[in-house]
A and B are shown apart, each in its own frame.
Chain A
Amino acid sequence: RKEVEQDPGPFNVPEGATVAFNCTYSNSASQSFFWYRQDCRKEPKLLMSVYSSGNEDGRFTAQLNRASQYISLLIRDSKLSDSATYLCVVNIEGNTGGFKTIFGAGTRLFVKA
């Protein structure tokens, strides 16, 4: 089982739609969580960190459920410019006191006019 799993996608939605991405992680030593956005052939860019209380940034809302080891990203009122791949990213505490960053495979989103 992969340490971080995401919906395989792709998601095809019309402009204005609400779309939700799900992500699960298997390691209970996971410490912190992020959503990144990656446009085709470009570098991943941080979209938002995910906090236990949930957090919102404009049209984007991230939720974390530690008990279920589940993270979500909700995009409201989708725009054409939201078309991208969304990566779920987890920092996991290692055995030697450090931590490593694990990436999900990503979910591709296409927003159509």
Chain B
Amino acid sequence: EAQVTQNPRYLITVTGKKLTVTCSQNMNHEYMSWYRQDPGLGLRQIYYSMNVEVTDKGDVPEGYKVSRKEKRNFPLILESPSPNQTSLYFCASRPGQGNYNSPLHFGNGTRLTVT
């Protein structure tokens, strides 16, 4: 089954404790992206990647890192989480940049709480 898989689904952590949220897709998509969703603010892009070893900042990159060493994986790293990073996170992917009509496929989300 074609899918985007995120882990973990739920995570509670403390301020400053490094964490990684994994994202993997099995559709051979070039483009992958991370979003956070907060009440009243909609989906905001954190980082995106157009292909292996190519990453770029989205609208709210502060406090986050990503890597794209392989096409299928795009982990989101919080080196020193803070309470304002408590949010619902989504990973998404789609085919490469020439495919304008391609919709994004989303993972089922990671709910992160930082105390």
Instruction: Give the residues in chain B near A42, CB-CB below 8 Å.
Output: 108-109
Docked complex Cα distance between A89 and B97 (Å): 16
A interface residues, how many (CB within 8 angstroms): 24
Contact check, A49 vs B101: say whether CB atoms are below 8 A apart.
yes
Q: In this assembly, does B43 line the interface, its C-beta being within 8 Å of a C-beta of chain A? A: yes
Tell me the chain B residues, 49-94 only, with Cβ under 8 Å from chain A. Answer: 50, 88, 90, 94
Q: A41-B109, A43-B109, A44-B90 are in contact. Are A101 and B104 (CB under 8 A)?
A: yes
Contact check, B42 vs A106: say whether CB atoms are below 8 A apart.
yes
How many residue pairs, one in A and one in B, have C-beta atoms under 8 Å apart? 50
Counting chain A CB atoms within 10 Å of each CB, the highest count among B41, B43, B101 belongs to B43
Contact check, B111 vs A99: say whether CB atoms are below 8 A apart.
no
Contact check, A97 vs B43: say whether CB atoms are below 8 A apart.
no
Interface residues of B (CB under 8 A from A): 33, 41-43, 48, 50, 88, 90, 94, 97, 100-109, 111
Tell me the chain A residues, 73-109 only, with Cβ under 8 Å from chain B. Answer: 87, 89, 91, 93, 97-101, 103-106
Contact check, A99 vs B100: say whether CB atoms are below 8 A apart.
yes
Given contact pairs A41-B88, A46-B104, enumerate 16 new A-B contacts (beta carbons under 8 Å).
A31-B101, A32-B101, A41-B109, A41-B111, A42-B108, A43-B107, A43-B108, A44-B90, A44-B104, A87-B43, A91-B100, A91-B101, A98-B97, A103-B42, A103-B43, A104-B42
Map CB proximity to B onto A28-50 as digits: 1 under 8 Å, 0 otherwise.
00011010100001111110010
Counting chain A CB atoms within 10 Å of each CB, the highest count among B48, B102, B107, B111 belongs to B102
